[in-house]
Structure 1
Amino acid sequence: MKKINRRTKVIIFTIMIGVIIIGAYIAGILIPDSGVAPDFSNTKLPPSFSHPFGTDWLGRDLFLRTLKGLSISLTIGIMASLISGAAAVLIGIAAAMGSRRIDGIINWFIDLVMGVPHTILIILISFACGRGMKGLLLGIAVTHWTGLARLIRGEVLQLRNQQYVAVSRKLGKSGSWILVHHLLPHLLPQFFVGLVLMFPHAILHEAAISFLGYGLPPEQPAIGIILSESMKYLSAGMWWLAVFPGALLVCIVLLVDRLGDNLRMIIDPYSAQE
């Protein structure tokens, strides 16, 4: 029997991770509001076959509520990562293709954003925008573009010195033509992998800010809200209110991070040879 090579194993494992994440996301979206409605006849029940994660003080099924909250966290993570990734590509290209003065200003601004702790900056932005989904999205998007922007800038600076780019300039091709036909095809894999690796950070920051009370409103069943509410009942022995939602969040974050590493190994020829 022919042995499966390492690259094939990575591709199969990546597909499995993607199916798990997409399945959890779709399952959370399909859960109706009635599925997480209060049921005072089943309050404070420990984990069982009928309620795998137990129930809370209002009798709500914690498993269904956690899945629904996870879909909200994933939605915010996807949207914030896309906004932040697009900004990183534009800023990175502008820094590399612009004048030395523009490059210096952009690098100074990147250092400024990176010098402020992300949690504090997200809280300030979220508070200034009146909290809620809008402020949380803006805060996460503003704070997560710097690393990818520097990566894109370095990649563009390297590509600009390639021989085929110099030949295109000699043939009279414009800067926009070179950008579309020579630079962007090389930047897309970096952008895609950077987007996936940015995703778990966005999810964790969303949960942390909501946990602190500066993110989503309390009526939203987000993971951060669930964990924040559970703190009041841990001393009463209701450990399952924090353990299962927190463990599921950590598992999803680790899976997404692993997905990003696998995609980098598949797309990047240098990583594939490691």
Structure 2
Amino acid sequence: MAPSLTYLFGTDWLGRDLFSRSLKALVSSFYIGGMAVILSCTIALMMAMLALVNRYFRWSVDLLVDLFMSLPHLLLLILLALVFGGDQQGLVMAIALSHWPRLTRLLRFEMQAIANTPYFQLAKQFGHSPLVIIKRHMLPHVLPQWFVGALLLFPHALTHMAALTFLGFGLDPSTPSMGALLSQASQYLLTGMWWLALCPGGLLLISLLMLSYLANCVLKIVREGPQTATTSTNRKVKPDLQPCIKVAVKPVIAAGVKGA
């Protein structure tokens, strides 16, 4: 049945409501993609911190990053999905192990720049332990970049998860997911059931665009937050200083008049 007021996305070839199936598939995709992003970003943060230990660890991390980034992304995803299996845990591992290198490189450069600052060098000279130095002087500067990187990685992970399932290397077709819905819909497009692919695909596209917009807004806040806060503070302070200046100037003027 085509989309109508009763069934917003229509029904599939078995008469099931496509809107409820699409929502359930989107929630499942968000859950699996979120777990994969958290694991991938955690690996990236640990690898970036490991690269600061000494030059041998730094060389090893750079070698792994270059090795993973030299492989075609989709081919690496397919190989990892075949190794870990097509269930939820295997898909999470495949996405996590294929998306950490870029964020690792970004965080490593950020940490290296922080490690060269004077206050970081002074903290080391004062005898603070490495754990205290990382907790107080490293993580507060790196975690905003890490959070933005996770948000930017989320739409990427959702797209690749849907692509893997669509190609047959991801979740089982009976499991509700966006890739499975699109894969099943491709078999019925020639019969005139256009809504089977258009409605779930449109819902996935809108979700990805909203996530990308949210990530860009957070990135803008992280980059321009201190300047905006300083500007707004200056704008608020200036009007409040005017009554104080008047109160402070009046006694001086009165004393000058009496002395004259």
Gaps of 5+ in 2: 229-260
CA distance in 2 between counterparts of 1:157 and 1:212 reads: 40
**Does 1:52 pair with 2:5?**
no
Q: Which has the larger radius of gyration?
A: 2
CA distance in 2 between counterparts of 1:151 and 1:271 reads: 21
Which residue of the partner structure matches residue 154 of structure 1?
Answer: 109
TM-score by structure 1 length? 0.80
CA distance in 2 between counterparts of 1:272 and 1:127 reads: 48
Please say if residues 93 and 153 of structure 1, whose CA atoms lie closer than 8 Å, have aligned partners that are also in contact.
yes
**Does 1:123 pair with 2:78?**
yes
Query: What do residues 88-124 of structure 1 show as CA deviations (whole Å, max 9, x unaligned)?
Result: 00101111x1222221221111011011122211211
Please say if residues 230 and 242 of structure 1, whose CA atoms lie closer than 8 Å, have aligned partners that are also in contact.
yes
Please say if residues 265 and 272 of structure 1, whose CA atoms lie closer than 8 Å, have aligned partners that are also in contact.
no
Q: For residue 3 of structure 2, give the secondary structure of its aligned residue in structure 1.
A: coil
CA distance in 2 between counterparts of 1:272 and 1:226 reads: 46
**Does 1:69 pair with 2:25?**
yes
Count of aligned pairs: 228
Please say if residues 29 and 178 of structure 2, whose CA atoms lie closer than 8 Å, have aligned partners that are also in contact.
yes
Which residue of the partner structure matches residue 182 of structure 1?
Answer: 137
Q: Percent of pairs identical after alignment?
A: 41
Amino acid across the alignment from 1:56: D
Q: How is 1:99-110 mapped onto 2 (pairs within 5 angstroms)?
A: 99-110=54-65
Please say if residues 265 and 271 of structure 1, whose CA atoms lie closer than 8 Å, have aligned partners that are also in contact.
no
Please say if residues 85 and 91 of structure 2, whose CA atoms lie closer than 8 Å, have aligned partners that are also in contact.
no
CA distance in 2 between counterparts of 1:180 and 1:124 reads: 37
2:156 to 193, 201, 211: 201
CA distance in 2 between counterparts of 1:143 and 1:58 reads: 37
Which residue of the partner structure matches residue 89 of structure 1?
Answer: 45
After superposition, the Cα gap between the structure-2 partners of 1:136 and 1:271, relative to the gap in structure 1 and judged at 3 Å, is farther
Question: Counting helix residues as a fraction of each chain, which structure ranks higher?
Answer: 2
Gaps of 5+ in 1: 1-44
1:164 to 108, 112, 119: 119
Instruction: Give the 4+ runs in structure 1 shifted more than 6 A.
Output: 270-273
TM-score by structure 2 length? 0.85
Q: Larger deviation: 261-270 or 194-203?
A: 261-270
Shift of 1:270: 7.6
Amino acid across the alignment from 2:40: S
Amino acid across the alignment from 2:120: V
Which residue of the partner structure matches residue 143 of structure 1?
Answer: 98
Shift of 1:271: 9.7
Which residue of the partner structure matches residue 246 of structure 1?
Answer: 201
After superposition, the Cα gap between the structure-2 partners of 1:116 and 1:163, relative to the gap in structure 1 and judged at 3 Å, is same
